[in-house]
Amino acid sequence: MERIRKALHVAGQERPGALVDASAAADDAALPQVELTTFEYSQTRVIEVPAGTFTAMRVVTGHGQDHVTRAYKLLRTRVLQKLVKENWQTVAVVSPAAGDGKTLTAINLGIGIASTRSHTALLVDLDWQQPSVHTYFRHRPEHDICDYLRGERALAEVLVNPGVPRFCFLPCAQPVADSSEHLAGLAAFVRELKGRYRNRIVLFDMPPLLATDDALSFLPFVDCVLLVVQEGKTKTDDVAQSLDLIGSERLLGSVINKSSQTLPAY
C-alpha cells in the first residue's frame, strides 16, 4: 500500500482512503436530480442474469449496505460529481498491468452510475486483445461491437442489458487483430455515443496501459481517465509511468483495488 501511496503523492494525487483524487463530498444529494424512471430498452437485447451469477462474479447490483457496495457507491458519487462539474461524459478505465481489477471496477462503476436514476451508463469493451466484459454476466454475444463498426448490425442490435435498469454494455466477443490500429480510428464512434443521450455516461474498458499501445491509441478521444491499481501488486514505477502517460489534466482519479482499508461502520 505504501509504495502506491508514495507514487501517487509524487504525482500530486494523494487523498486519504482507497479512492484518490475525487470530489470531497460524497452525498447523493449533490448529484443532479433528473429522474429517468421511464427509460426502457425497446430494441436493446435484455438478458436474464441469475442473482447467483452477480454474486459469483463479484458484480455489485447497487443494492445493500455491505462494505463493497458502499465503497462502489462512494466511488460512483465522487466520479459523477466530477463529471458533472467538468461537463465530461466519456471515461476510459485503465490499469498499469493486467490483473489489477479494472474490468470489474468499470462494470460496478457503470451499474452504480445507472442506479442514481439521474444518468444512464454504457460500458464499452475495448480491451480487444483480451475482451471479457461479457464473461462477468456469463453471456455469449451473438453479435458484438465489431459487427456494428463494420456496418453489419445496428447499435441497438449489439447492446446488451443484463437486467439492470439504465445500464447496458457493448461487448466484444473475441480478440481483434491489429487492435491498436483500429482503436486509433474510433474518434467518430466516440462522438456518436456521446451525442445519442445527454444523460448517458460512457465508460470504456481499456487494455492495460503499459502492456500494449492500444490504450494510448484511444485515450485522446475521451474526456478523462480513471486509473485502477491494486494494493500489494502494482509497482510504484508503473503507477508513476501510467500517471505520466495519462497527464494530470485528464486524470479523473485513481482507485486502489483490494485495499486493506475499509469504510467505517455507519
Cell readout for 50 is: 441469475
Residue spans of alpha helices (H) in 40-132: 51-56, 67-86, 102-114
Does the residue 101 lie in any domain?
A: yes
Provide the pairing of β-strand 19-20 with 120-125. Answer: unpaired
Asked whether the CA dihedral 2, 213, 223, 113 is positive or negative, the reply is: negative
Does the residue 76 lie in any domain?
A: yes
152 vs 93: CA distance, rounded Å: 27
Does the residue 265 lie in any domain?
A: no
The phi and psi torsions of 84 (rounded to 5 degrees) equal -65, -45
CATH number at residue 210: 3.40.50.300
**The model scores a pTM over 0.75:** yes
Does the residue 262 lie in any domain?
A: no
Does the residue 263 lie in any domain?
A: no
What's the number of domains the chain is made of?
1
Does the residue 264 lie in any domain?
A: no
Does the residue 21 lie in any domain?
A: yes
169 vs 27: CA distance, rounded Å: 27
Q: Comparing C-alpha atoms, which of 63, 48, 179, 46 is closest to residue 114? A: 63
Does the residue 266 lie in any domain?
A: no
Q: Which domain holds residue 158?
A: 2-257
Cell readout for 184 is: 486509433
Residue spans of alpha helices (H) in 133-213: 145-149, 155-158, 179-183, 187-196
Cβ(55)–Cβ(138) below 8 Å: no
Cell readout for 99 is: 490483473
From first to last of its 266 residues, what are the pLDDT tens digits of the chain?
454 554 454 444 443 333 443 333 334 444 444 443 344 455 788 999 999 999 999 999 767 678 888 889 999 999 999 999 999 999 999 999 998 999 999 999 999 999 998 899 999 999 999 999 999 999 999 999 999 999 999 999 999 999 999 999 999 999 999 999 999 999 999 999 998 888 899 999 999 999 999 999 999 999 999 999 988 888 899 999 999 999 999 999 999 886 655 545 44
